[in-house]
Structure 1
Amino acid sequence: MTPLESNAAPEFTQAVAQATADVYARVRSVVPEVEWPVHAPYVDAIQKLKKTRGAVVLAHNYQTPEIFHGVADLSGDSLALAQQAAETDASIIVMCGVHFMAETAKILSPEKTVLIPDLEAGCSLASSITGADVRLLRERYPGVPVVTYVNTSADVKAESDICCTSSNAVEVVESLGVDRVIFLPDEYLGKYVSGKTDVEVILWQGHCEVHERFTAGDLRDYRASYPGIQIYAHPECPPDVLTEADYVGSTSGL
């Protein structure tokens, strides 16, 4: 029985230090040495537990180093993780990400057990809209197709006509062959799409609370402090940030 199975807090021992030495070598530039004795026992215990349970651990690109490098078997952006979950032979999927990512993995792998370590792991963007909101939009704009970003709940996806990622949003919108669409829920991604197509894009005012914090002024300050740097931005950032950036792309593209 592993410490995690017995609910006992795992301890940092010489054996644990040796078992996790390769992992720490990969993360030592971002995880202070004084913190590793806290993380290492859990890294070791999780590695052992997932083998006994036949589980595979998926971690989003935004995860912390000790999870991303220490316990994850597969990593990627939200859609890539769901696709990898569908392709793996493991019967148990542990999704180290927010709630909608676990939902998407379950949609693509209905026969598998999908676990999320923290039920409170939410997303401000996904929480900005509900299935009821989508139904009201359909009443307001009858006949207009709904294009929904994959960073949404299963409830919202079920009310939509088609889903897209940040990397194929423009392509998906244009594939419908219509003059206008409802694009949900990210306002900034929708504006980015609108600037890349002649299709009229009806927007919803949903935002990622992290991406919307960046400003064009921040980028100019970085350029002043680090002459010659390249700045990459995700299309969930405000439009003036995208204008100031050198490259705009999806998580995997970045």
Structure 2
Amino acid sequence: MNTRELQDEIIKLKKEKDVCILAHAYQSPDIIDVADFTGDSYALSKLAATAPQKTIIMCGVRFMADTVKILSPEKKVFIANEDALCPMADQLNIEDLRYLKKAHPDHIVCAYINTTTAIKTEVDLVVTSSSAKKILENTEEKNILFVPDQNLGTWLKKQLPQKNMVVYPGGCPTHMRLRKEHILRMKEKHPNAKVLVHPECLQEVSKIADYVGSTTGIMNYAKESNDTEFIIGTENSIVTHLQMACPDKMFYTVSKHCICHNMKATTLTDVYNTLRGRGGKEILLDEETIKKARKPIDEMIKRGG
């Protein structure tokens, strides 16, 4: 089968089997074309909870599929490629978290949603890149231990000087490949282009950006802006999606190396084989784990996330 024939077969199968397909924005266009919903990890989890289908296939990385299961425990949830993991989520294990909590007993623990389920069971609050500033700004607690992304945490620390934040030294390997000199080189080539970057980037990159925000925030900014040229400082697939969504505007990657190989691990064939019951992996979490992991997510929603 060629790509179009495979996509047609997937669309046919998902209707026959009553399956909802979720695709993170970093997935390739051929997968996004067959998805029911596309977006960031938390938005997809919320959409999955409202979808009428009782079976969900996540095209993303493992923690994203786990979050879908946590918010929709009654549904069957599969990850299309079980080897698609998140290096940043795996940088902090439960033993290290417990050590940090003992070392900072007067701090609430705030976890980026890009964390494992085990970490979520032992934190006070979960945030997304789009909700973190608003939630932490309005929270009563001043002492905050932020895990695991040091770049998002440091960016938040500068945005919220009234807070006493301790930041765990983890980070996204993909976004950390971007450097200040990459931005400056692209600005030399495209002096009129606005620089839009993700807060997972190094501080030297965020400091010289015109806009710092989540994947969804970057895409919305570019679509709604009157400007016509943009340098995009996040996973390179976003440039492809924006080029297709806004053909009248110009989008440039900061670096050809800003590629998440875990996100790219999922293929159209993986989706097809999961639908056929010959691939993918079902996410199985016990009731107590789901209850504990959902608590900080519910706290995020309560605080306005």
**Does the CA-based 8 Å contact 2:106-2:143 persist in structure 1?**
no
Quote the residue 1:212 is aligned against. 176
Quote the residue 1:167 is aligned against. 130
| Residue 103 of structure 2 is aligned to residue 143 of structure 1 | no
**Does the CA-based 8 Å contact 2:58-2:80 persist in structure 1?**
yes
Which of 155, 162, 185 matches 2:148?
A: 185
Quote the residue 2:115 is aligned against. 152
Quote the offset at 1:88 in angstroms. Answer: 0.5
Q: Following the alignment from structure 1 to structure 2, what is the Cα–Cα distance between the partners of residues 229 and 111?
A: 46
Q: Following the alignment from structure 1 to structure 2, what is the Cα–Cα distance between the partners of residues 178 and 85?
A: 32
Quote the residue 2:244 is aligned against. none
Quote the residue 2:190 is aligned against. 226
Matches within 5 A, 1:27-46: 37=2, 39-46=3-10
TM-score by length of 1: 0.83
TM-score by length of 2: 0.70
Quote the offset at 1:125 in angstroms. Answer: 1.0
Quote the offset at 1:201 in angstroms. Answer: 1.0
Quote the offset at 1:41 in angstroms. Answer: 2.7
Q: Following the alignment from structure 2 to structure 1, what is the Cα–Cα distance between the partners of residues 86 and 65?
A: 12
| Residue 85 of structure 2 is aligned to residue 122 of structure 1 | yes
Higher relative contact order, chain-length normalized (CA < 8 Å, sep 6+): 2
Quote the residue 1:77 is aligned against. 40
Q: Following the alignment from structure 2 to structure 1, what is the Cα–Cα distance between the partners of residues 6 and 65?
A: 22
Quote the residue 1:106 is aligned against. 69
Quote the offset at 1:149 in angstroms. Answer: 0.6
Highest Rg: 1 or 2? 1
**Worse overlay, 217-226 or 41-50:** 41-50
**Worse overlay, 97-106 or 40-49:** 40-49
Determine helix, strand or coil for the equivalent of 2:207. Answer: helix
Q: Calculate percent identity across the aligned residue pairs.
A: 38
Give the number of aligned pairs: 217
Q: Deviations over 1:16-69 (max 9, x none)?
A: xxxxxxxxxxxxxxxxxxxxx3x2232122111111110010000110010012
Letter in structure 2 aligned against 1:146: V
Quote the residue 2:291 is aligned against. none
Letter in structure 2 aligned against 1:77: D
Letter in structure 2 aligned against 1:172: I
